[in-house]
Structure 1
Amino acid sequence: MQAFSPLSNHDLRDEIKAYWSRRAETFDAQPGHEIFSEDERAAWHALLRKHLGNGEGRAALDLACGTAVVSHLLDDLGFQVTGLDWSEPMLERARTKAATRGRKIRFLMGDAERTMEPDASYDVITNRHLVWTLVDPLSCFHEWHRVLKPGGRLLVVDGDFVNPSALTRLLKRLASLASHIGLARDALHGAPNPEMAETHNRILSAVYFSGGARSDAVAALLREAGFTKVTIDTDMAAIHRSQRKNFSLLKGLERATQHRFAICAEK
């Protein structure tokens, strides 16, 4: 087996890209990735409206869009959406989904850390579960600041999945046990196989936020990159409640006790 540690930035970024390309096949089968109820869709709409307002034709860039879950939410709200991802398998599914739903979402293959988009070209930038994977977040945040128009807003949705609380650890163990002995259905949600789990852990050990992406640390880097009015929102309860019907009781409670957050910042 090829040794991946220590990884250069180039090798690490290649491995991250390959990992998410392999995850594309099952990405939409997993609750917490795709949306499985109108209650959850409404909860996400409420979060986006709270921080970004209605679209009204404004230009939005959804970074690391994957299969375009957040891109569709933005489109629902009236934004003119561009979804950018560097995984062709993810983009294939994103384009198919948009065609099936009759949505006019523009998709680009590109790197969220080097978008190649023009200066001051977007009113809104969004990303979900991207920041924890970044190799150089400060440089990346400078790039996002460059691409935003003056007065534009960035919305980061992410979490710290490295430092669970004692309650979260207990619930995770109980949920895993219940799934293992057949008392819960969570094992059916397409979790990564052991090889993929090993790759995930290897990537996590090498990225900038290897010790966990805490909201205050992310916010501090956003301010350093020039963003102002940086607001941390940890009230994800409505989204968690709506997702619970797709998880066992224990798994739903575990997710609800994790440090998940949205950060809104302005240029």
Structure 2
Amino acid sequence: MTNYTIRDEIREYWSLRAATFDEQVGHEIFSEEERQAWRALFLRHLGPGEGLRALDLASGTGVVSHLLDGLGFDVTGLDWSEPMLSRARAKAASRGAKIRFVMGDAERTLEQPGSYDVIVTRHLVWTLVDPKAAFREWHSLLKPGGRVLIMDGDFVSNTFVKRMIQLIERLTGRSVASPHRPDAMREAHERILQQVYFSRGARSSEVANLLRDAGFTHIEIDQDLSRIHRQQARNLPFFKALERQTQHRYAIVATKPA
């Protein structure tokens, strides 16, 4: 008998990924042009951060936390992987950034209700076991009028480009776009994906509906991420860049009623 759960497996998976997390496009930022593209997205939906508190959920090594810090927010980064947090704290120390990093579960944060003006997540929602409970939790953490910004995507559904890549890989026997991970890591990823809520892909319309059910209003879906994708494509193989630009990726901003 064991108490090992899907949540434990998710935490262990990302802890193992921590060592190479910042080597991958889409995790770390590799050019000033891409950094400015992310800043523009944040400013479009959140505005400047002077005097406002921001919570970066599933903060990883702190990439989004540093973007928020650069916009003037008072930032807390929350992650439940100690290896990720160790790298995040070291990065903040080396840059002289006053970012608070804490360990916690994004679905049950234990943070004080009504204590944040902004909550930001990137590539977290697709991994949630219980997004309904998570969104209610995030709603409770925000001050009245506070906003949540979700950046995520459907990385599961087959597209024409994805099928083309799979065919090329079968014919050539080599990877042209898939992540270069050890077999055990790929297997763990697939096993986790089969058990999370969005196992068939996190579509923006479904995420928006769940946010609405949790009490959020003024929900806006922004699929114009082309500026970011163009900059990321400069550091990706051709087929991986093509796949990224044709996936259903989006930003969703929603407001807690004042």
Which TM bucket (shorter chain)? over 0.9
Cα offset, 1:192, TM superposition: 2.0
The question of whether the paired residues in 2 share the 8 Å contact of 1:171 and 1:253 is answered with no
SS in 1 for 2:88: helix
Cα offset, 1:191, TM superposition: 3.0
SS in 2 for 1:246: coil
Q: What's the TM-score once normalised by structure 2's chain length?
A: 0.94
Question: Which of the numbers 138, 141, 158 marks the counterpart of 1:144?
Answer: 138
- Distance in 2 between residues matched to 1:99 and 1:45, nearest whole Å: 22
Cα offset, 1:179, TM superposition: 9.7
Question: Which of the numbers 11, 17, 39 marks the counterpart of 1:23?
Answer: 17
Cα offset, 1:119, TM superposition: 1.2
- Distance in 2 between residues matched to 1:45 and 1:170, nearest whole Å: 33
Cα offset, 1:58, TM superposition: 0.6
Label 1:177 to 1:156 Cα distance change in 2 as closer, same or farther (>3 A).
farther
**For residue 18 of structure 1, what is the amino acid of its counterpart?**
E
Counterpart check, 1:50 vs 2:47: no
Q: Which residue of 1 aligns with 2:224?
A: 235
The question of whether the paired residues in 2 share the 8 Å contact of 1:84 and 1:112 is answered with yes
Label 1:177 to 1:100 Cα distance change in 2 as closer, same or farther (>3 A).
farther
1:195-237 Cα shifts (integer Å, max 9, x gaps): 0000000000001111110000000000000000011111110
Q: Which residue of 2 aligns with 1:14?
A: 8
The question of whether the paired residues in 2 share the 8 Å contact of 1:174 and 1:250 is answered with no
Cα offset, 1:28, TM superposition: 0.3
Counterpart check, 1:36 vs 2:30: yes
Label 1:197 to 1:149 Cα distance change in 2 as closer, same or farther (>3 A).
same
The question of whether the paired residues in 2 share the 8 Å contact of 1:175 and 1:250 is answered with no
Q: What's the TM-score once normalised by structure 1's chain length?
A: 0.91
- RMSD, matched Cα: 2.1
Q: Which residue of 2 aligns with 1:223?
A: 212
- Distance in 1 between residues matched to 2:170 and 2:100, nearest whole Å: 39
Q: Which residue of 1 aligns with 2:79?
A: 85
Q: Which residue of 1 aligns with 2:245?
A: 256
Flag structure 2 segments of 5+ consecutive residues without an equivalent. none
The question of whether the paired residues in 1 share the 8 Å contact of 2:161 and 2:242 is answered with no
Q: Find runs of 4+ consecutive structure 1 residues off by over 6 angstroms.
A: 175-179
Cα offset, 1:175, TM superposition: 7.4
Matches within 5 A, 1:1-267: 11-171=5-165, 173-174=167-168, 180=174, 191-267=180-256
Cα offset, 1:152, TM superposition: 0.3
Cα offset, 1:171, TM superposition: 4.1
1:47-90 Cα shifts (integer Å, max 9, x gaps): 11111011112100000000001000001111110000000000
The question of whether the paired residues in 1 share the 8 Å contact of 2:208 and 2:219 is answered with yes
